[in-house]
A and B are shown apart, each in its own frame.
Chain A
Amino acid sequence: MPDNWSFVAAAYALTAAVLFAYWRRLAKKEREVTMRERSNANRSRPTADRSRLTAERSGSTAERSGLSAERSQEPSRTGHPRPDPDSRHSLQ
């Protein structure tokens, strides 16, 4: 009786490939559902939460602008003095 290893290899390889592909498909679908759930949860957050977030954000923007104003007075990291913004000429 010939060995027929090629047939044995084909049967096992086909089984492994199909089962692995199915497993990957399940994993991919699970990831998609999780991402959809997350985006739905973000969208359905209460308005109060959202307005609080907006207030926080605008507060932090004001803080940031204050900070940048302060920073402009400080020397730069390289040690060179920062130019006074008023002394800048607009580009022609």
Chain B
Amino acid sequence: MVKTLGWLTALALVVGLLMAFVVAPQVTQGNVQRIMYVHVPLILASYVAFVVLAIASILYLVRRDPAADRLAHASGEVGVVFVGLGIATGSIWGKPTWGTWWTWDARLTSVAILFVMYLGYLLLRGTIDDPERAARYCAVLGIVAALDIPLVHFSVYWWRTLHQPPSLMKPGGFTGSASILWPLLVNLLGFVLLYAYFVARRVRLLRAEAEAVP
């Protein structure tokens, strides 16, 4: 099952990569806009990761099921990798487009806070010895941190920002051409599948580690 998911992920990522370089046109920004086909899917997949983490955390607090805690832990770890990469690729795109690697506008600041909060989530897990107490504290932090996701998404509407408004998840839907939309959607599918693949493996590993402890 996990192996099949891995192969599907690899296929979607290879097709997405080809589409980003062959199908997608270079409209006004030149070739640097090809970074968007990795930056946008990474950020959206990290939203998925943190929403899953929040739902699993609520489930853990209600049922005290260790499986829900393992899912939250795995999702948080993969989410941190994805959002970190999303910030880095966005910064690489920002230098030639905006003329700066980083600026403290509302979108960039709120996503940096999101990254730091989930990094703290992982650190908190590592600092508490009692697994039950670590799971409980992290579940609360995971739910609170998820409140930053709408702030990140709507920050471009609520404040004047250098960052442009969303392209995909906006009222009225996507307004660009199909040659931009399809590479974006295929890459989004690839990164969401990659998230699921990593989480499946991480959950399996966490279960094995828990069983190995006498």
Note whether A and B form a binding pair.
yes
A contacts, CB < 8 Å to B: 1-5, 7-8, 10-12, 14-15, 18-19, 22-23, 26, 29-30, 33-34, 36-37, 40
Select B38's contact among A11, A23, A30, A37, beta carbons within 8 Å: A11
Q: A1-B30, A4-B96, A37-B212 are in contact. Are A11 and B198 (CB under 8 A)?
A: no
Report the contact-size class of chain B (Cβ under 8 Å from the partner). Answer: 20 to 34
In the complex, chain B residues whose CB is within 8 Å of the CB of A15: 38, 42, 85, 89
- Is there an interface contact between B194 and A19, defined as CB atoms closer than 8 Å? yes
Q: CA separation between A43 and B97, bound complex, in Å?
A: 61
B contacts with A: majority SS: helix
Q: CA separation between A86 and B46, bound complex, in Å?
A: 80
In the complex, chain B residues whose CB is within 8 Å of the CB of A5: 31
Q: A11-B92, A14-B85, A15-B89 are in contact. Are A22 and B32 (CB under 8 A)?
A: no
Within 8 A of A (CB), among B38-87: 38-39, 42, 78, 81, 84-85
- Is there an interface contact between B81 and A33, defined as CB atoms closer than 8 Å? no
